[in-house]
Amino acid sequence: MFYALLKTPILTDRYIIFVLIPILILISALIFEIDNKKLKIFLFLSILISTIINNYFEIQFRKNTKPEFTKLLAYLEKHETKNITFYAHKIIDEIIENYILSLKAFTNNNFKILNIDNISSDTKMLWVICYEPVMGYNCNISSDKRKNWILNETKNLYLLNAQLYEIKN
């Protein structure tokens, strides 16, 4: 506790395994050393109830921390357009593509992945999926790539942005 006041808190993510486990072992072992039965039951119930309440809040009010690719594919399967492309950094683009290819929602709905740099002239509609892992990443496609593209729809999810373009030739 004094170290936390002077320097940095010790209950940060990287230290929690070293601090929390000994504390839990000490508390659980020392509760059984108490002779007063009412105090022992009170401490046991307080730990049990606080743990149940904490689990409830963790499950009920959990904030999303991962990109919602499956939710996006569930949304896209309702549309006629099955052509999708990715707009991200080159390395991330390959990782996303491999991940999307492994999802059941992708294989069951006949989605087709196209290269954003080589869109064929017979493609009329296209979903552009942008992965935004970095704060301030710009998902706007440069105007020279989409000279004849008309934005029809946008869908924003956590760390993902999908835009439906109509391609005029």
* All structural domains of the chain with their residue ranges: 2-60, 69-167
pLDDT value at position 87? 82
**3 state SS of 144:** coil
CA triplet 114, 70, 131: central angle to 5 degrees?
A: 55
Instruction: Read off the pLDDT of residues 86-141 as tens digits, 9 standing for 90 and up.
Output: 887 777 778 888 888 888 888 888 888 888 778 777 888 889 888 877 666 677 77
Strand-pair partners of 149:
167
Give the span between the Cα atoms of 141 and 161, in whole angstroms: 12
Q: Phi and psi dihedrals of 111, rounded to 5?
A: -70, 150
- Tokens found for residue 14: 């990287």
Which of 103, 151, 102 minimizes the C-alpha distance to 130? 151
Instruction: Read off the pLDDT of residues 43-79 as tens digits, 9 standing for 90 and up.
Output: 989 989 998 998 898 888 888 778 888 899 989 888 8
Q: Residue 1 pLDDT more than 60? A: no
| Statement: the pTM of the whole predicted model exceeds 0.75 | no
* Cβ within 8 Å of residue 160, ≥6 positions away: 67, 68, 69, 72, 129, 130, 131, 132
